[in-house]
């Protein structure tokens, strides 16, 4: 048996021994849910961890094991679990009203806070997920421009509606040339007709992006992009790339849509304030719900007014729980807590952790890349620069999973793709614990790295 397989089986055995109740619950779930799963991103083999409770930066599974949560429900819990002020706001709201078939004052309060914080958002519309947000932003762009096609980055994730599920994880044998990427459906459920209306561009590539926009401008309603690519590996834009996107879309009469579902935490005004680039529309969600479901679309008043039912012809967009008062109350509490000082703290901790992780791997003579901005980061087992989806594929995904499971077994929870983020309850104590644990894991798994990816070993050190 190879070092890698031996170590992996060892960590799997350890995981099974520690999480017997999770295994039993998963066996029960498999009889009621397909594969025991109802959220693809939380599934991993041999079975996912079942969690009982969380508080601050800690979560506890059903077997009583505790973990420092560096995943935070994939960035949505910017204040960690059960922040007292957010819990208080939810409880206060529940004593008055849970859900209702009418608007409430709370939706005005949250809308006002968002419009004050985001430089490009003059009006906002609420929904219940990031998927709904990007779906409605695309539909709104089509209605406003009268054009059908959209552009999205290869490897960009914008939720699970048809027009978003194109070239999210395209295999190399299907994604075509870099100069003309193919539009690849994520699964068999995507109609072929959708592919004709989704143009794929390589992130951080000025020349190809410009060529594709100019070629399709007469039919192109919008370009939607994550200011920092999330699922592909927390990949930041190269210098001036977002400014370039803003300029080229204006020049070609194409709307620019920022998907800020993950990046809204980077500053009070999100990535658009951080990078000083204003889109026409912003789609977001996650942290704005304070741990409850939310999605939102915001942008220029001229575009957003297409939703107004006071117009003779308007876009209908409804949902039973749109702007429900519990979510609105949690969102207001969240944004009031997310001050400039709080953001500075988590961004500083994230930058510190990113640098120290790189240094730690270097001490073990292992070449890796750590991408990220502010409180967001991602480890990649590659010695190549990670600038787009294709370069992210140079990383060894088997080593990703081995590191993930090894950390999880020792009480550090990140994403299987090795993404991590910081929440406001954290301090240097938690980041030092991460680094100490990572060092212990590297002692254990270095033989597997040497065997499976010898090109990552720096023999000169």
- Known catalytic residues? 157, 259, 286
- State in Å, rounded, how far the first CA of the chain is from the last one: 29
Check whether the bond before 216 is cis (ω within 30° of 0): no
Locate 54 and state its tokens: 């969380």
For residue 53, the tally of other CB atoms under 10 A from its CB is 12
Report whether 347 contacts 340 (CB < 8 A). no
In this structure, what are the phi and psi dihedrals at residue 183, rounded to the nearest 5 degrees?
A: -90, 110
Sheet holding 295-299, edge to edge: 123-127, 295-299, 281-285, 255-259, 220-225, 149-153, 198-201
Cα–Cα distance between 89 and 79 in angstroms, integer?
A: 14
Locate 139 and state its tokens: 């539909």
Cα–Cα distance between 170 and 9 in angstroms, integer?
A: 29
Report whether 4 contacts 11 (CB < 8 A). no
Report DSSP letters for 409-453, one per residue. Answer: HTTEE--TT-EEE--TT--HHHHHHHHHHHHHHHHHHHHHHHHH-
Cα–Cα distance between 300 and 311 in angstroms, integer?
A: 17
- What is the residue whose two structure tokens read 């209702």? 100
Task: For the chain, state the CA radius of gyration.
Answer: 22
Alpha helix stretches (DSSP H) within 84-202: 84-94, 105-117, 130-145, 192-195
Contacts 24+ apart (CB under 8 A), 429-435: 430/57, 430/68, 431/349, 431/352, 431/353, 431/356, 433/68, 434/68, 434/70, 434/353, 435/353, 435/356, 435/357, 435/360
Report DSSP letters for 282-316, one per residue. Answer: EEEEGGGGTTS--EEEEE-HHHHGGG-TTSSS---
Locate 303 and state its tokens: 């575009």
Name the strand (E) or helix (H) holding 176.
Answer: strand 176-177
Burial of 219 (0-12, 13-18, 19+ CB in 10 A): middle
């Amino acid at each position: 048996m190879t070092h890698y397989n031996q170590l992996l089986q060892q960590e799997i055995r350890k995981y099974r021994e520690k999480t017997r109740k999770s295994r039993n619950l998963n066996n029960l779930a498999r009889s009621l849910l397909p594969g025991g799963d109802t959220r693809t991103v939380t599934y991993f083999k041999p079975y996912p961890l079942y969690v009982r409770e969380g508080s601050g930066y800690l979560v506890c599974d059903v077997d009583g094991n505790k973990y420092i949560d560096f995943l935070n429900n994939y960035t949505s819990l910017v204040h960690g679990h059960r922040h007292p002020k957010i819990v208080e706001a939810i409880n206060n709201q529940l004593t008055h009203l849970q859900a209702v078939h009418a608007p409430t004052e709370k939706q005005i309060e949250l809308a006002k806070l968002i419009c004050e914080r985001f430089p490009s958002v003059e009006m906002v519309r609420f929904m219940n997920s990031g998927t709904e947000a990007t779906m409605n932003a695309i539909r709104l762009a089509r209605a406003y421009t009268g054009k059908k096609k959209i552009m999205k980055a290869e490897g960009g994730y914008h939720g699970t509606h048809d027009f978003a599920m194109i070239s999210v994880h395209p295999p190399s044998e299907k994604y075509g040339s870099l100069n003309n990427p193919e539009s690849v459906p994520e699964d068999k459920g995507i109609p072929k007709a959708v592919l004709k209306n989704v143009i794929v561009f390589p992130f951080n590539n000025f020349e190809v992006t410009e060529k594709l926009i100019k070629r399709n401008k007469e039919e192109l309603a919008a370009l939607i992009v994550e200011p920092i690519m999330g699922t592909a590996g927390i990949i930041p834009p190269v210098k001036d790339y977002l400014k370039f996107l803003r300029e080229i879309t204006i020049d070609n009469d194409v709307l620019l849509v920022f998907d800020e579902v993950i990046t809204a935490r980077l500053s009070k005004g999100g990535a658009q304030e951080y990078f000083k680039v204003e889109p026409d529309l912003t789609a977001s969600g996650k942290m704005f719900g304070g741990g409850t479901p939310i999605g939102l679309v915001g942008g220029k008043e001229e575009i957003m007014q297409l939703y107004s039912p006071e117009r003779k012809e308007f876009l209908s967009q409804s949902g039973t729980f749109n702007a429900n008062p519990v979510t609105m109350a949690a969102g207001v509490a969240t944004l009031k807590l997310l001050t400039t000082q709080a953001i500075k703290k988590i961004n500083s901790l994230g930058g510190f952790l990113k640098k120290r992780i790189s240094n730690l791997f270097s001490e073990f003579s292992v070449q890796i890349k750590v991408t990220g901005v502010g409180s967001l980061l991602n480890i990649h087992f590659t010695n190549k620069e990670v600038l787009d989806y294709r370069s992210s594929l140079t990383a060894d995904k088997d080593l990703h999973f081995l590191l993930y499971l090894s950390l999880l077994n020792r009480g550090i929870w990140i994403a299987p793709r090795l993404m991590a983020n910081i929440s406001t309850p954290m301090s240097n104590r938690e980041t030092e614990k991460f680094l100490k644990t990572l060092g212990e894991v590297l002692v254990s798994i270095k033989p597997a790295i040497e065997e499976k990816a010898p090109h990552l070993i720096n023999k000169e050190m």
